[in-house]
Amino acid sequence: MDAISVIRTKRDRGELTPEQIDWVIDAYTRGEVADEQMSALAMAILLNGMNRTEIARWTAAMIASGERMNFDSLSRPTTDKHSTGGVGDKITLPLAPLVAACGAAVPQLSGRGLGHTGGTLDKLESIPGWRAHLSNAEMLGVLDTTGAVICAAGDGLAPADKKLYALRDVTGTVEAIPLIASSIMSKKIAEGTGALVLDVKVGSGAFMKTIEDARELASTMVALGTDSGVRTVALLTDMATPLGLTAGNALEVRESVEVLAGGGPKDVIGLTLALAREMLDAAGLGDADPEKALADGSAMDVWRRMISAQGGDPDATLPVAREQHVVTAPSTGVLTRLDAYDIGVAAWRLGAGRARKEDPVQAGAGIELHAKPGDTVTAGQPLLTLHTDTPEKFDYALKALPSSYDIAPAGTDFTATPVVRERIA
């Protein structure tokens, strides 16, 4: 078999055979198929799609490329969550310790930023000393002692996905539904969690722009999980507007700590609690009260232990960008739209994301939001604050923002879209 024939099959809208899929995933993992060849195949999949049989086989091949984990030694039921990515989506940070505080074990394998969306590992690495990379034994130890761990997937867990994940980020193929579904579910199934809740974003700032595409992706992943014996449910959640009031690594960590301390934006709190209830219910802990665990400080206690266990200092001062630029409201009225995609692109251009898979990110770069849709703003008041260490990036970031918001006359009626739009099980 050879890479060119596999690429041609999908380029010409054919169905890949099980043998072709098994071969190309194995050969790419071993380095026999080059990045440029896998890039061409990924683009062909983006343009021409895959059927359910192909997706299931592709996912199985990704799992077979590495090891599978087992958490049977834990005394707690395991439950995990995965987000398809958004702007300002820092939910994992307060969610994992919150669910652990309610009695579950949360083995949260997370990733880095993809395109205009932020990555959980990039956010947490803004905490001095914190380590994303743990051995399987270290991961199990942190999980056993604290109840929650957030870390990178080990080199032995779906190594094919690790290579392909980074490649998709820099080749314009992130949005391919078959590749998103197989990437997420290969890691989660290999991870060995007993239950999984999927947060599938929909809107301008998500990879799924329409409710129909989000529903297709969610249904595909729920089926893959269920068929593999993992209790799986999905929530379709709104990503037309950034979550919370920050987009950027250290900025989002700071906001997450505010939520754990009993404050923070209402939309972040609401989605964190909604996902916590789903995770606990899937783990057989439906009687637990996550709202109480958030209010009484027990979730914060788990957060501090979890960060410390991975070498981080929960009391350390987080990085702050050296330069700021304020965008003011051009008129007085009601803010009716704040586009998540534009904010994400601007934050990425400021240094919060990466253009190449080997690029570093700026811990302090990003954007603060001073108003959300439905708020009344006054001409001249701060609307956004841009943060970066490299002020020459401001002009490039500002080019993403001129059409990123709408302000209607004062008194205009506004109805916000619910954060949770649908549930698929």
**Consecutive sets of 10 residues in the chain, 425 residues long: mean pLDDT of each?**
97 98 97 96 97 94 93 94 94 98 95 82 96 94 96 88 86 89 92 95 94 96 92 97 97 98 97 98 96 97 98 97 98 98 96 80 97 97 98 97 96 94 96
84, 220 contact by CB (below 8 A): no
Distances (CA, A) of 147 to 95, 170, 342: 12, 35, 37
Per residue in 410-421, is it b (16+ CB within 10 Å) or e — as a string? Answer: eeeeeeeeebeb
Beta strands in 117-229 (DSSP E): 148-152, 195-202
**How does pLDDT run across 301-326, given as a tens digit for each residue?**
999 999 999 999 999 999 999 999 99
User: CA-CA distances (angstroms) from residue 421 to 72, 211, 225, 338?
Assistant: 34, 9, 21, 18
pLDDT in tens, 280-291: 999 999 999 999
Q: At what angle do helices 92-101 and 266-282 cross, to 10 degrees?
A: 50
Residue type, 356: R
Considering Cα of 307, then 309, then 314, then 319, what sign does the dihedral take? negative
Name the token pair of 262: 């009993």
In 88-220, where do the E strands start and end?
A: 106-110, 148-152, 195-202
Angle of helix 159-169 relative to helix 177-191, nearest 10 degrees, comes to 150
Work out whether strand 148-152 and strand 106-110 pair parallel, antiparallel, or are unpaired.
parallel
pLDDT score for 357: 64
Distance CA 354, CA 342 (A): 16
Q: How far apart are CA 286 and CA 266, in angstroms?
A: 23
What integer pLDDT is reported at residue 323 of this predicted model? 98
Q: Which residues are catalytic?
A: 82, 161, 168, 183, 187
Please give the pLDDT value at position 112: 83
- Entry pTM: 0.90
Report the C-alpha gap between 201 and 249 in whole angstroms: 19
Question: What is the reported pLDDT for 115?
Answer: 73
Which domains does the chain carry?
A: 3-49 (1.20.970.10), 80-156+166-309 (3.40.1030.10), 323-408 (3.90.1170.30)
Predicted pLDDT at 116? 82
CA 282/CA 288 separation, integer angstroms: 12
- Phi and psi torsions of 236, nearest 5°: -90, 120
pLDDT for the residue 149: 97
